Amino acid sequence: MKPNARKVRTLGAEGKVIGGFAGATADAFTLFERLEAKLERHQGHLMRAAVELAKDWRTDKYLRNLEAMMIVADKDVTLILTGNGDVLEPEAGIAAIGSGGNYALSAARALADYEQDAETIARKSMKIAAELCVFTNDRLVVETLDSAA
């Protein structure tokens, strides 16, 4: 199942947010649904919705047991969300999670000095991560946001 798992998707009614996850699939989809509801409640303001989700994730008895991490982004901000209540804005907008996340993050940071295209950086970084980490595969789904949106 893992090579076919779609771990990245657009979120919200207008698709102005991209989300990706690492961890248990069912748990991540529960979190995606909660985040979408928060986005709707906060008029699409990602930072506010993410903070509210992180509060719930940390304090709600049901959500507290979910095992997943998320990266969410809109045209303005990229965030890493964890069950510890963390809402982290990564340096230079480069983020990675999951078993091969540190490999991909290291590669992306190195490539960012030489490559301007975000998709090229992501593809090359994931290729490196897949070569180094047995739990990371090389089948990618690339989602993009219209920067003018």
Q: What is this structure's pTM?
A: 0.87
- State whether the Cα torsion 111-113-117-118 is positive or negative: positive
pLDDT tens-digit map of 109-122: 999 999 999 999 99
Where are the chain's structural domains? 1-89, 92-134
> How many angstroms separate the Cα of 40 from the Cα of each of 3, 8, 109?
31, 19, 33
> Smallest Cα–Cα separation from 124: which of 93, 98, 103?
103
CA 11 to CA 89: how far, in whole Å? 18
For residues 12 and 143, the model is more confident at 143
Please give the sequence-ordered ranges of beta strands (E in DSSP) within the chain, or none if there are none.
8-11, 17-23, 68-73, 78-81, 87-88
CATH of domain 1-89: 3.60.20.10
pLDDT per residue over 4-48, tens digit each? Answer: 667 888 887 678 899 988 887 888 888 889 899 999 999 989 999
**Residue 78: both structure tokens together:** 């990229």
Class of residue 46 by CB neighbours under 10 A (exposed 0-12, middle 13-18, buried 19+): buried
What does residue 77 show for φ and ψ, rounded to 5 degrees? Answer: -145, 145
